[in-house]
Amino acid sequence: MRDELSNARAAIMGWMFVTLVLTLSVFPQKTTVWTAEETPIHEAIRGLRKLPDDVRASTTRDLALKIRRLPATGNKLSLAIALANLSTEGDFGHDNLQEVTNSLSEALREQPQPDEDGGPAYGYRELARLVRYEHMQTNLDAAPFRTALSMYESDDRKRQDADFTLTDLQGKSWTLRDLKGKVVLVSFWATWCPPCRKEMPDLESLYTRFKDQGFLVLAISAEQENKVRPFIENAKYSYPVLLDPEGKVSARFVVEGIPHSFVFNRDGKLVAQSTDMRTRGQFLAMLAEAGIK
């Protein structure tokens, strides 16, 4: 049953449409009436990406606390989900992210959500993502949350066994299973994705620094070559950029949102992953799991 739910979710939520799906889940297209107390929180969340990282960290914590003080309504849950979705775009502090997790847990406890598309509602999946991949804590003990955790566990088993053969912009073919002996970071990204663009200079720097130690970055895009090539050439990124225009490999890796990165050690074992943007320091911690230091 868990595998069926995971397959259904992957089929419904194609990763090229993640931005739209999240927007509709968090702030529906129907007119939302915000109260005087909710409006400044809503506007502050919309402006988070414009803030310097240090200011964004403190603002994120402040917003999480303000959300918890709101009355128990659907709007409170929407705000908690929106903040959680943006709070993993980098490293804004473990304690701050825990406050975000606490706010989402409380909102879900106050406003339980019905299943969507045969599986847990997005709020439960977002909370499960924070717990499984960001190592946050929650005291929410709800069946949909437990189901979401089980779905991610199933996804990770599929990712461990996933393989691909894709061609890069220079026409070279790459097969993941043939790369044993190297530490491989597989990154799913797109030119239209701001968090993807923000982390790519760090990936380039790390690739340049560690490639002589057998470190390889394979960046996979589901866009067409005429979109990808000018972007890569203009930025002068030197690591291999692979094209997956039909999204088959992203589906195999159950990629629902980008950027999403996976680190495989020299034995081909999946040892680390990130479900959102990472900073240089966070990438270094992921590489350390594979023996790159």
Residue 118 pLDDT:
84
Return the CATH number of 165-288, one of 3.40.50.1000, 1.10.10.10, 3.90.1150.10, 3.40.30.10. Answer: 3.40.30.10
Q: How many residues does the chain have?
A: 293
Query: Alpha-carbon distance 287 to 158, whole Å?
Result: 21
Buried b (16+ CB within 10 A) or exposed e, 57-93: bebbbebbebbbebeeeebbbbbbbbbbbbbbbbbbe
Write out pLDDT tens, residues 240-274: 999 999 999 999 999 999 999 999 999 999 999 99
Domain-wise residue ranges, the chain: 2-157, 165-288
Query: Alpha-carbon distance 77 to 75, whole Å?
Result: 5
Write out pLDDT tens, residues 142-185: 999 999 999 999 999 999 999 999 999 999 999 999 999 999 99
* Count of C-beta atoms within a 10 Å radius of residue 101: 23
* Four-point Cα dihedral 265, 254, 195, 291, nearest 10: -10
CA atoms within 13 A on the CB side of 189: 28
Cα separations in angstroms, 81 against 17, 28, 33, 128, 187: 18, 12, 17, 12, 25
pLDDT tens, the chain, 293 aa long: 333 333 334 333 333 334 333 443 444 446 889 999 999 999 999 999 999 999 999 999 999 999 999 999 999 999 999 999 999 999 999 999 999 999 999 999 999 999 998 899 999 999 999 999 999 999 999 999 999 999 999 999 999 999 999 999 999 999 999 999 999 999 999 999 999 999 999 999 999 999 999 999 999 999 999 999 999 999 999 999 999 999 999 999 999 999 999 999 999 999 999 999 999 999 999 999 999 99
Query: Alpha-carbon distance 155 to 245, whole Å?
Result: 22
Under 8 Å between Cβ of 140 and 105: yes
Query: Alpha-carbon distance 162 to 249, whole Å?
Result: 8
SS3 of residue 272 by DSSP: strand
Point out which residues pair with 184 in neighbouring strands: 216, 264
What tokens appear for 212 in the block? 């002589």
